[in-house]
Structure 1
Amino acid sequence: MSIFRFPPLVWLGIGILIISLGIRQSFGIFMMPISDTFQSGREFFSLAIAVQNLLFGAFQPFVGMAADRFGAKRVVALGGVAYALGLYLTSIATDSSILYLSMGMLVGFGLSATSYVIVLGAIAKVVPAEHTAKAFGLTTAAGSFGMFAVIPGAQSLLANFDWQTAMQVFAMAAALIVAFSAFVNTANKHAGVAAASNDNQTLREALAEAFRHPGYWLIHAGFFVCGFQVMFIATHLPSYIADKGLPGNTAAMALAYVGIFNIFGSYFWGLMGDRFNKRYVMTSLYTMRAIVLALFVTVPLSTQSATVFGAAIGFCWLGTVPLTSGLVRQIFGARYMSTLYGLVFFTHQIGSFLGAWVGGRVFDHYGSYTPIWWTTVILAIVAALLHLPINDKPVTRPVIQPA
């Protein structure tokens, strides 16, 4: 299936993810100005972002269940409201503790209801199974385009205005998600997408089936590593680069390169997932990550090396999303994908919580990010090995014939 023949929901999902994830990936740019405003160490902002990511994940199973039961439209609308409100409250905060509510809880919930679990779960219901990884890859790439487009915009806003104004601009952008949600519709399913064997399965049965599957837990473990790595980099790379005395726009450029190369990488890895065994593709992706991270730590840091690192790590940045969600779809089917992938994404966000928080904790204690960089290398190697033993064959269920 050509990408131009994908249902309209795919393109609508792209628009939602550009806003939702584009804003999210820019938060690292705000670490230093917000920390300076409240006269706090980096651990304070790191913990606020860590809380956001933990709640982002913790809400995922519940919003996934809500989307599977009541439809994605209502969930996305509610998420857009929470996201915009959280950003606005952050902009007017006069006490640092407010950020745990606004940037942490409200934005965390907003992200959970407007990002991959809900969007990909809706798309799985309207795209044929043999083309889901490609569709997921294209949609995932949208978040990367948002990163490429929004981070330079955030840097420009901070250069010309204060961070509070920048947050208010982002709040208005997040409010657009509510308008987009009115057009989310999964009622007209593509022929053959929903298998008859899935139609009579209950949510309780689907959860029990997944929990008994050893491969499901290996998928969880691999996605935990992904969350730890990407959130550590997104949150702490700007400060790491600034600590080395490089110009302020170097970090913004490196993260922008992460975004633009992830556009190509996400679609590439999704395409490979449709053509080859997803387990081996995942192993290749994590091996590439390990090599890129190890080279970045060992090669002397410069504007050029930071930019090259952004491009290289960007190419394998979120390629895990179409592959991981594709594995869940391939093994367990589309009906309860939002719930099952939501649980996997919760594990991803536990990793994100630790990546964001521990990075700041280690820096404040040791005055260096080096131990965490090498931890990400080791974890990438572990994740590459974890995917090899996964049994990725679709589970078999009795088909109940209509009376």
Structure 2
Amino acid sequence: MSTLAHPSSPGWRTPVVVIVAGCLIAMIGFGIRSAFGLFLEPMTLAKGWDRETFGLAMAIQNLLWGIGVPVAGMIADKFGPSRVLAVGAVIYTVGVWGMATADSSLELHLFGGVLTGIGVAFTAFSLAMAAMAKVVGPERRSLALGLGTAAGSFGQVVFSPLGQGFIGAYGWESALLMLAASALFIIPLAFILPSNTNAKGEVPSNQTFRQAMAEAGAHRGYILLTIGFFVCGFHVAFITVHFPSYVRDLGLDPTVGAYSLALVGLFNIIGSFASGMAGQRWSKKVGLSTIYFARAIVIIALLMAPKTELTIYLFAGAMGILWLSTVPLTTGIVAQIFGVKYMATLFGFVFLSHQLGSFAGIWLGGYLYDTTGSYDGVWWAGVVLGLAAAIIHLPINEKPLARLTPVTV
């Protein structure tokens, strides 16, 4: 007789309903923050701030996002994600509202940096994805995680033009208030997610939080996965922040950079979904190694090819396929090895490494450009890191831990 968990009837919280709610949460939470770059110029012009002031607020926001995700994951793993997401939505709303009303740089850094960063962390798509992972069996888990990642990217596609439309029609202050109000839609969606800690198709566990952290810390694969995700953050953040300027430096029209980022978002939807499907059939660590190796090749191709509009668009499409396709596989490995009971927490610490990589990519891009007048050094650093990440993932042991194996009698 199997000791697999047999959760009580889910009632109206069917897997389809939970997955749809989780995808909508990911879309809203990730989509709103993706539009903040649109406010750099109108806010700094209206308030008389320099771009460094706005940039510091966004840097603080990203740092708090990275620090806050594992904290939010700990709370969600213990008490369920609904209340965490609901509180996060309120903080998110207050932070974005404060951005609209800030009259000083200190207020901007407090509301747009600290509070919004905490709000983003406590509405992170990883919380919704952890809940989604618990309502499907292991055989469909990677696909569900791919859907959640694709939904977050779709939020970028939706909210970027929506935010620009709000700015054009109502002004930047009203646009921020509308985005702030949008975050409140997360609250009713949050209470659709289940609060149980046992997962479908998984052996029930009495493991404590401390035991889970000690187990992960002693697992070489978890350490390698965490190191590798630093590289993902380095690539993504550097390109997001500096690529439009890189395009302008090439003498191309500024709209080429804007369209390129839009292409990244569109192709990311395809890449995330395809990554989730691939993770169901083939080795996730090999998939990650392939993605990082392909990123290095794509960057080399960009550096070697003639710098035309077509080259830039082809790079954007190729990099979009590889953009967040790492997320379903990374979260999938965490769930596959350790189970999903503490998935939000364990992925939270992996994600913190991602955000440290993001900080490094943004800072190094600016520093090397200011000192050398070129981004080439950062691009080549990205190549080296991509190749290193491709190697780092190969020794990971993806096999589920023995305690997750059903015992039959």
Q: Same fold (TM over 0.5)?
A: yes
* C-alpha distance in 1 between matches for 2:306 and 2:218: 47
- Give the superposition deviation at 1:248: 4.1
Secondary structure of 1:97's aligned partner: helix
- Give the superposition deviation at 1:18: 1.0
Matches within 5 A, 1:9-28: 9-28=18-37
- Give the superposition deviation at 1:387: 0.3
- Give the superposition deviation at 1:232: 1.6
1:101-127 superposed Cα distances (whole Å, 9 cap, x missing partner): 222211211111212321121112111
What amino acid sits opposite 2:282 in the alignment?
Answer: F
- Give the superposition deviation at 1:155: 3.5
Q: 204-213 vs 255-264, which deviates more?
A: 255-264
Q: Which residue of 1 aligns with 2:273?
A: 267
* C-alpha distance in 2 between matches for 1:238 and 1:64: 34
Residues 126 and 189 in structure 1, CA contact (< 8 A), matched pair in contact too: no
- Give the superposition deviation at 1:334: 1.0
Q: Which residue of 2 aligns with 1:316?
A: 322
- Establish whether residue 350 from structure 1 lines up as the match of residue 356 from structure 2: yes
**Structure 1 pair 184/278, CA: closer, same or farther in 2 (3 Å)?**
same
Q: Which residue of 2 aligns with 1:253?
A: 259
Q: 154-163 vs 380-389, which deviates more?
A: 154-163
- Give the superposition deviation at 1:130: 1.9
Q: Which residue of 1 aligns with 2:193?
A: 184
**Structure 1 pair 191/389, CA: closer, same or farther in 2 (3 Å)?**
closer
Residues 77 and 197 in structure 2, CA contact (< 8 A), matched pair in contact too: no
Residues 88 and 171 in structure 1, CA contact (< 8 A), matched pair in contact too: yes
1:12-56 superposed Cα distances (whole Å, 9 cap, x missing partner): 111111111112223333344444455555444333222211111
Matches within 5 A, 1:54-69: 54-69=63-78
Q: Which residue of 2 aligns with 1:95?
A: 104
Q: 18-27 vs 205-214, which deviates more?
A: 18-27
**Structure 1 pair 125/267, CA: closer, same or farther in 2 (3 Å)?**
same
- Establish whether residue 30 from structure 1 lines up as the match of residue 39 from structure 2: yes
1:272-324 superposed Cα distances (whole Å, 9 cap, x missing partner): 11111111111111111112222223334443333222211111110110000
- Establish whether residue 143 from structure 1 lines up as the match of residue 149 from structure 2: no
* C-alpha distance in 1 between matches for 2:162 and 2:248: 19
- Establish whether residue 328 from structure 1 lines up as the match of residue 334 from structure 2: yes
Q: TM-score, normalised by structure 2?
A: 0.89
What amino acid sits opposite 2:39 in the alignment?
Answer: F
Residues 134 and 274 in structure 1, CA contact (< 8 A), matched pair in contact too: yes
Residues 81 and 131 in structure 2, CA contact (< 8 A), matched pair in contact too: yes
Secondary structure of 2:324's aligned partner: coil
- Establish whether residue 195 from structure 1 lines up as the match of residue 207 from structure 2: no
**Structure 1 pair 130/73, CA: closer, same or farther in 2 (3 Å)?**
same
2:287 to 281, 284, 287: 281
2:176 to 143, 161, 167: 167
**Structure 1 pair 260/244, CA: closer, same or farther in 2 (3 Å)?**
same
Q: TM-score, normalised by structure 1?
A: 0.90
* C-alpha distance in 2 between matches for 1:283 and 1:147: 26
**Structure 1 pair 303/54, CA: closer, same or farther in 2 (3 Å)?**
same
Q: Which residue of 2 aligns with 1:115?
A: 124
**5+ residue gaps in structure 1?**
none
Secondary structure of 2:185's aligned partner: helix
* C-alpha distance in 1 between matches for 2:163 and 2:365: 23
Q: In angstroms, what is the RMSD of aligned CA positions?
A: 2.4
What amino acid sits opposite 1:182 in the alignment?
Answer: F
Q: Which residue of 2 aligns with 1:372?
A: 378
Residues 126 and 186 in structure 1, CA contact (< 8 A), matched pair in contact too: no
2:219 to 187, 200, 213: 213
Q: 41-50 vs 312-321, which deviates more?
A: 41-50
- Give the superposition deviation at 1:144: 1.2
* C-alpha distance in 2 between matches for 1:154 and 1:217: 38
Q: Which residue of 1 aligns with 2:3?
A: none
* C-alpha distance in 1 between matches for 2:402 and 2:77: 21
**Structure 1 pair 337/189, CA: closer, same or farther in 2 (3 Å)?**
closer
* C-alpha distance in 2 between matches for 1:386 and 1:144: 26
Secondary structure of 2:347's aligned partner: helix
What amino acid sits opposite 1:54 in the alignment?
Answer: L
**Structure 1 pair 399/139, CA: closer, same or farther in 2 (3 Å)?**
closer
What amino acid sits opposite 1:164 in the alignment?
Answer: E
- Give the superposition deviation at 1:355: 2.2
What amino acid sits opposite 2:232 in the alignment?
Answer: C
- Give the superposition deviation at 1:200: 1.3
**Structure 1 pair 399/232, CA: closer, same or farther in 2 (3 Å)?**
closer
**Structure 1 pair 237/38, CA: closer, same or farther in 2 (3 Å)?**
farther
**Structure 1 pair 243/158, CA: closer, same or farther in 2 (3 Å)?**
farther
**Structure 1 pair 300/45, CA: closer, same or farther in 2 (3 Å)?**
farther
**Structure 1 pair 400/17, CA: closer, same or farther in 2 (3 Å)?**
closer
Q: 176-185 vs 149-158, which deviates more?
A: 149-158
* C-alpha distance in 2 between matches for 1:365 and 1:353: 18
What amino acid sits opposite 1:368 in the alignment?
Answer: S
What amino acid sits opposite 2:156 in the alignment?
Answer: M
- Give the superposition deviation at 1:254: 1.4
- Give the superposition deviation at 1:185: 2.2
What amino acid sits opposite 1:381 in the alignment?
Answer: L
**Structure 1 pair 363/40, CA: closer, same or farther in 2 (3 Å)?**
farther
**Structure 1 pair 107/248, CA: closer, same or farther in 2 (3 Å)?**
same
1:47-89 superposed Cα distances (whole Å, 9 cap, x missing partner): 3222211111111111111001111000110111111211111
What amino acid sits opposite 2:162 in the alignment?
Answer: G
